Homo-oligomer: A and B are copies of this chain.
């Protein structure tokens, strides 16, 4: 009887350790999976609603007026309505989010989605209610800065 008990304990210990074993490389990759580019600091401007992190990755300069930012939206967070005088390109690197142009239906964006927003077109983007959303924003400063507009209402967000 003692022998059976010892064998059981040995098997259970083996089971416990083997199932908690994660190869170092795999573990490392899992941690990094959803963060490719730096997340940056939490937004403190009035241009967003909800928790948003913004990191400027590339600044525009006189030789290349293209700026690239990484924007991370917590579930439910979103930008205000706004427009870009030279348009904008959005590249989704993780999560599930929304994009909507004034007068158009809301578009669902997922990892790998790409959006080209025309110049001077009011639009907003943000996370879906239950999933965070990470996107690169590529914006030319050639015709001036972003024009910020009104808050996205709950009805607009939910419709």
A87 CA / B114 CA spacing, docked (Å): 22
| A56–chain B nearest beta-carbon distance, Å | 10
Contacts known (A15-B18, A33-B29, A91-B136); A86 close to B64, Cβ less than 8 A: yes
B36 touches A112 (CB 8 A): yes
Chain B residues closer than 8 Å to A118, beta-carbon distance: 63-64
Q: Does residue A4 face the partner (Cβ distance < 8 Å to B)?
A: yes
Q: Does A58 contact B (CB under 8 A)?
A: yes
Q: Which of B38, B86, B93 contacts A36 (CB 8 A)?
A: B93
| Main SS at interface, chain A | mixed
The number of chain A residues touching the other chain, given as a range, is 35 or more
Q: Does A152 contact B (CB under 8 A)?
A: no
Residues of B within 8 A of A7 (CB): 4, 7-8, 11
Q: How far is the CA of A14 from the CA of B33 in the complex (A)?
A: 30
- Are the C-beta atoms of B64 and A116 separated by less than 8 Å? yes
| Residues of B contacting A15 in the complex (Cβ-Cβ under 8 angstroms) | 11, 14-15, 18
Instruction: Tell me which residues from 2 to 54 in chain A have a Cβ below 8 Å from any Cβ of chain B.
Output: 3-4, 7-8, 11-12, 14-15, 18-19, 29, 32-33, 35-38
In the assembled complex, 17 residue pairs joining A and B whose CB atoms fall closer than 8 Å, in A order, are: A3-B4, A4-B4, A4-B7, A8-B11, A11-B12, A11-B14, A11-B15, A15-B15, A37-B112, A58-B116, A64-B87, A64-B116, A64-B119, A65-B140, A66-B66, A68-B91, A136-B136
